[in-house]
Structure 1
Amino acid sequence: MRFLILALAASFAANLSANYIVKYKDGSSETSIANPTTSFASFSISGDIEYVEEDRRLFAHYGEYNDTYYSNQWYFNNYLSNSFYHAREYALADGGPNVTVAIIDTGITSHFELNQNVVGGYDMISDGANSRDGGGRDSDPSDEGDFGDNSGTCSAGSSSSTWHGTHIAGIVAARSDNNYGIVGAAKGINLLPVRVLGACGGLTSDIADAVRWAAGGSVRGAGQNPNPAKVINMSLGARGSCSRYMQESIDFAKSQGAVVVVATGNSNADATFYTPANCRGVLRVGAVNQSRSRSTYSNFGSIVDIAAPGDGILSTVNSGQTTPSTESFASMNGTSMAAGFISATAAMIYQANPGLYPDQVRQIITQTAVSYYCDKESCSKGAVDPYEAVSLAYNTTPNANFSYKDPVLVGGTAALNDRFSSGNKSGGACGTIEDVSSGQGGNGTLVGLFFIMAVVIFHRYKFTKQL
């Protein structure tokens, strides 16, 4: 192979990390990848080069997906020139691997759009009264319902269940082109549901153990996870500082090559005061609406890394008001939903380039972000552009020494001793729960983790799959 010193035309300057075709005057040719860290000014053209042009990827002319409610998914049809649509096709263009995404949430319900993608999972709820399935940790991640029952176990919240974990799972990986339902943001995804939230929210210890277990670690009362996740989604949180026990689990997950994605919250407040968003090493997600403006409920501030669609997100749920019944679909608002889109984007980056490290994935997502309207002093680095993120991933060299500039230098904020009250429509974390997060882990302190999710369910489609 000839040694190349390329001078790339100015027209390529906007895409330094692309592939290029080099055509020689003798009729031969070869391809090269431009070094994004090298200035164009340092290149010179050899006299035997006829031309250099970008080696663009082309795709089959896919028609619209045939899924029943695809036209209702604005984030596919009306967001950054169909960026999610193109990203999910591009990510597997070179035959990349299936990627496991852990959904640490309320568990999951049976759904035609999801069942084929589920690979195991676990129920990590240690509090029998909160689990509704007989108590104790077990290998069944089924969502038993997070409705408040006024039994005195905790102050009653919503009288209906949210099926929140099922909704997030559908955002990430619902099946496509099956003449039914919706389209997930990514394909080729293995779903690993881990149940941590019940009628009374979830314990910090259970949630932190779920993070560690999902990444392949050992925790008490749970068998080894045979399907370690590369992406871990936590669409949950509470006001308070980052628990040491939680931070240790996040650090472990990162050491195992997993990206931890966290919703920042729906309180229209500074995300610095909400955990686990204020833990080190996580990718913190705010929400934008269809106009690409900050969603009015979305938490904001200097620690928010990225934003994604969060309003009117149609996804998989269950039709049961309290306990599971038949599968269904519903629209929700929230940074929970936005986190699902970022988890899908991270998974697609790993499909494009499996050797990348977590900090590189975080950098790619934020580096390729686009601007959006922010009505606060600081909202995030921008709104996700999944296609550009996947494109950059293809041409990024894995680097174990790369370090993402994390806005959280010391885990969390000063310890708070607040009381947190979930909204009546938030579902599971019912009632007003004392937040005594103090940075000490492992003792099962209840921090009232609420579902950072929809406070509005617009409509529920009343039908089931006819098998």
Structure 2
Amino acid sequence: MSKLQKNKNKNWLVAVLALLIFLALGFGPARVELSAQKKKTDKRISALYNKNQKKATPLSSQAERKEAIRRIKAMSLSQTGGTGDKYSREKVLVKFKPGLTTQSADSLLKAYQAESYHLIPKINVYVVRIEDGVSVEDTLSALKVNPDVLYAGPDYKLRLCATPNDQLFSYQYALSNPGGVLLIPGSPTGNPQADFKATGAWDYAKGDPNVLIAVLDTGIDYTHPELVNQVIDHGKDFVNDDNEAYDDVWHGTHVAGIIAAQTNNSAGIAGVAWNCRLLAGKIIGAEGEGDYSDLIEALIWAADYTNGAAKVGVINMSIGGTEPDEFLEEALQYAYNKGIVLVAAAGNDGSQGVYYPAAYDNYCLAVGATDYNDQIADFSNYGPEKDVAAPGVGIISTYPVALTDPGYLPYAFADGTSMAAPHVAGLAALIKSVKPWLYPGDIMKIIKYSPDDVDSTGWDDYSGYGRLNAKRALAPYVLK
């Protein structure tokens, strides 16, 4: 469940987002509610919000300056959300053994009552839509015993995880924490060490416009004033199968702003990777969940994307699902082998178990969330796959203009590992900008071995190697 916090401000013209989403499933105004009671079945992904906070909380005394702040809770990898099903009842994924002709594959799929199907290139996986009334389980059982099938599985579900002069930079404690009472919902007192040292990092790098960060999420509001010059094109919508990856929810727009909002423009917020650009891949629909097959296709698409000299160097996935999947792992491996750094949110259940794709730690950086006092967020999932943590509580970022109430600015506060991951993706893009020849594994090591310890000394299940330190990661002695 998401929640909003309001407070008005006479002195500051900071009207931060209006979340008024009426989704087809009947979500009420000013909240994003993912119901665990409506179930489907297909390996699924979702966006991660902190589901433990159920009511809007007004800003306390220090916030009597009355800034109009609304707060969203964002979940990047959650077991609940949307229909709640683990996999689709309409589709399966199939890979045939090498040597089987296309004609033979077509005949075989038709024999298994495929209504339609298409091939994901490069990894040769078929997305097969089965006929109404045909059981996914029965179809998979039959496919798995066929000698021509290498492997077959369900289509699992995904759910929604230099100092600039920007007007709202003082609200971005994650980039530079001044300590004292913070300008975020609840007006907590912050630890001045509890940020990821962005201003120091910008002394070394601000990003290369030919380094693209693909945001595989709910899409991006590419009309937003802070993003209109940052997106390279309108991306691709894998949910509706078109080339307009517009965000009709809010989550992907919020993630995109953290990574690369236009910066040093005397307006709005600052993005981590100032000069890098964004590419939107929409894999999550308005109901807050999507299919693994869309993520798999988006990974291949992003890995192969070029636009002149620009190409994808980093992929951010503030989404996830509970189930491992060979097809997903193969797509991650494909992108990794193309030289792309993969970043994913760890999950927001506050429990043991990093979600997928983050749990594929050979290829992905799994990111947990910290707060303004360098404490591990109580909603942040933990486990042996955890690599690093980054600020993910009270994070202000961009919000879709079309969803913003009159009189408010299109910005919002949100919590979640969904908000932590894009800080890491932005840092990866900065490193890629400075040293474009580094392999993904090299960049992952730099990010993992340069944080500040915030929990146990050394690596631990909760913070991984610690809270991100972008300045240290970009220091010349590290990148020599």
TM-score tier (shorter)? 0.5 to 0.7
Tell whether the 8 Å contact from 2:237 to 2:244 is kept in structure 1 after alignment: no
**Matched residues in 2 for 1:74 and 1:322: separation?**
23
Per-residue CA deviations over 1:319-374 (Å, capped at 9, x if unaligned) read 54599999600000000111000000000111121110000000000111110036
**Matched residues in 1 for 2:314 and 2:474: separation?**
15
**Matched residues in 1 for 2:343 and 2:273: separation?**
15
Tell whether the 8 Å contact from 1:349 to 1:393 is kept in structure 2 after alignment: no
Query: Pairwise mapping of residues 311-460 of structure 1 onto structure 2 (< 5 A)?
Result: 311-321=393-403, 328-373=410-455, 378-379=461-462, 380-391=464-475, 395-396=479-480
* SS at 1:90 equivalent: coil
Tell whether the 8 Å contact from 1:171 to 1:315 is kept in structure 2 after alignment: yes
Structure 2's unaligned 5+ residue stretches are: 1-161, 178-191
**Partner residue, 1:113:** 226
1:259 aligns with 2:336: no
Tell whether the 8 Å contact from 2:336 to 2:342 is kept in structure 1 after alignment: yes
Shift of 1:293: 1.1
1:209 aligns with 2:297: yes
Pick closer, same or farther for the CA change 1:276–1:324 going to 2, 3 Å: farther
Shift of 1:276: 1.3
Counterpart code for 1:233: N
**Matched residues in 1 for 2:267 and 2:165: separation?**
8
Pick closer, same or farther for the CA change 1:107–1:96 going to 2, 3 Å: closer
Per-residue CA deviations over 1:228-264 (Å, capped at 9, x if unaligned) read 31000000012222x1111111101111100010001
Counterpart code for 2:461: S
Pick closer, same or farther for the CA change 1:118–1:239 going to 2, 3 Å: same
**Partner residue, 1:192:** 279
Max radius of gyration: which structure? 1
**Matched residues in 1 for 2:476 and 2:382: separation?**
27
Query: Pairwise mapping of residues 289-300 of structure 1 onto structure 2 (< 5 A)?
Result: 289-300=371-382
TM-score normalised over the length of structure 1: 0.60
Shift of 1:89: 3.3
Structure 1's unaligned 5+ residue stretches are: 1-61, 127-134, 146-160, 218-223, 397-467
Query: Pairwise mapping of residues 26-37 of structure 1 onto structure 2 (< 5 A)?
Result: none
**Partner residue, 1:407:** none
**Partner residue, 2:386:** 304
Shift of 1:86: 1.7
Quote the sequence identity (%): 35
Q: For this pair of structures, how many residues does the alignment match? A: 298
TM-score normalised over the length of structure 2: 0.58
Query: Pairwise mapping of residues 128-167 of structure 1 onto structure 2 (< 5 A)?
Result: 135=240, 137-143=241-247, 145=248, 161=249, 163-167=250-254
**Matched residues in 2 for 1:165 and 1:302: separation?**
27
Shift of 1:99: 1.4
1:84 aligns with 2:198: yes
Pick closer, same or farther for the CA change 1:176–1:292 going to 2, 3 Å: same
**Partner residue, 1:277:** 358
Shift of 1:377: 6.3
**Matched residues in 2 for 1:299 and 1:232: separation?**
21
* SS at 2:203 equivalent: helix
**Partner residue, 1:237:** 320
Out of 85, 98, 122, the residue aligned to residue 235 of structure 2 is 122
* SS at 2:429 equivalent: helix
Per-residue CA deviations over 1:118-162 (Å, capped at 9, x if unaligned) read 112433434xxxxxxxx4x1111112x2xxxxxxxxxxxxxxx4x
Out of 80, 100, 107, the residue aligned to residue 212 of structure 2 is 100
Shift of 1:197: 0.5
**Matched residues in 1 for 2:434 and 2:345: separation?**
24
Tell whether the 8 Å contact from 1:311 to 1:333 is kept in structure 2 after alignment: yes
Per-residue CA deviations over 1:294-321 (Å, capped at 9, x if unaligned) read 0010011111001000011000002545
Pick closer, same or farther for the CA change 1:100–1:377 going to 2, 3 Å: closer
**Matched residues in 2 for 1:100 and 1:225: separation?**
10
Shift of 1:177: 1.9
Range with bigger deviation, 185-194 or 376-385: 376-385
* SS at 1:268 equivalent: coil
* SS at 1:283 equivalent: strand
* SS at 1:171 equivalent: helix
1:65 aligns with 2:152: no
Pick closer, same or farther for the CA change 1:393–1:298 going to 2, 3 Å: farther
Counterpart code for 2:217: D
**Matched residues in 1 for 2:467 and 2:345: separation?**
14
**Matched residues in 2 for 1:195 and 1:346: separation?**
21
**Partner residue, 2:261:** 174
